[in-house]
Amino acid sequence: MVSVFLNRFRMCDKPLEENFTVAHEAGIPFFSFEDAIRFFGVDPTPDQLLSLTKQLKREKIHNCKNDFILVANFPISILCIQERVDDGLFFPDDWYVGKEFAEFAGNNLHYQLIRKNEVPGSFSKEMDEQEGLLEKDELVPNTQEMVYAIIGHFLKTGERLFEGNIHLRTSDCFENNQIPYFSSQEEQVEVGWFDGDGLEISSDLDIIECPSVGLASAFNPC
């Protein structure tokens, strides 16, 4: 049923097929809408898929193919992803249940280029300093976008991004009133350390300089 629907959609929509061709020719790792249906159980509507017909910039894809993965990000929350995949893919710590960033179902269906490593030179810096390293049009993705890309890429390829003692700051933060000596303090959400115990979602103050904490980044490929 799924393949019949997708084939019918492709036959009537040339821009979508052209985007598949751009990604294939560049040789960039690509987590497509077909992969999202297969691994996350999403059920896209024709209107949602129409948003993926926005033309990818061929030059941008080719320039990013070695350091980024291309993702078709569906609006599905971190908690929903966690329910639909094996328990072992997430570190067994549910501190973020009830947090807004974990329940956020993502932005509208969109393409995104997610960097496969930290922003160069971003370790051992406060977040303000890290953001100063971003290139023009480079942005910091939110936690949903990072989790979606990391887990999806692993399910498709078996490759663990950010394996080992590496955490990357995302654009999400939340107020923590439990920090000693602080009346109230915002903590920045981080993802990483994706080893055999599962992907870890953690947090820390954005003013902390840590040798294992870098910055996540992404580009809009359209």
- pLDDT value at 6 more than 70: no
Q: Pick the more confident residue, 109 or 11.
A: 109
Strand spans (E) along 26-166: 30-31, 68-73, 110-115
φ/ψ bin of 190: left (φ > 0), alpha (ψ from -120 to 50), beta (otherwise): beta
Angle, nearest 10°, between helix axes 143-157 and 33-40? 80
Cα 210 to chain centroid distance, Å, stands at 22
pLDDT band, residue 29 (cuts 50/70/90): very high
Provide the CA 111 distance to its chain's centre, in angstroms: 11
User: Quick count: other Cβ atoms within 10 Å of Cβ 219?
Assistant: 23
Tell me how far apart the alpha carbons of residues 131 and 125 are, in angstroms, rounded to a whole number: 10
pTM of the model: 0.91
Q: DSSP of 136-197, one letter per residue? A: TT-B---HHHHHHHHHHHHHHH---TT-SS-EEEEEEEEEES-STT-SSEEEEEEEEEEETT
Q: Which residue has the higher pLDDT, 32 or 177?
A: 32
Is pLDDT larger for residue 187 or for residue 185? 187
The pLDDT tens digits for 82-101 are: 999 987 999 998 899 999 99
Nearest CA to 112 among 41, 190, 57? Answer: 57
Pairwise CA distance, residues 71 & 149, whole Å? 7
pLDDT band of residue 178 (cuts 50, 70, 90) is: low
Determine the pLDDT at residue 105: 87
CA angle 84, 88, 89 (to 5 degrees): 65
pLDDT score recorded for residue 181: 52
Give the chain's radius of gyration (CA, Å). Answer: 18
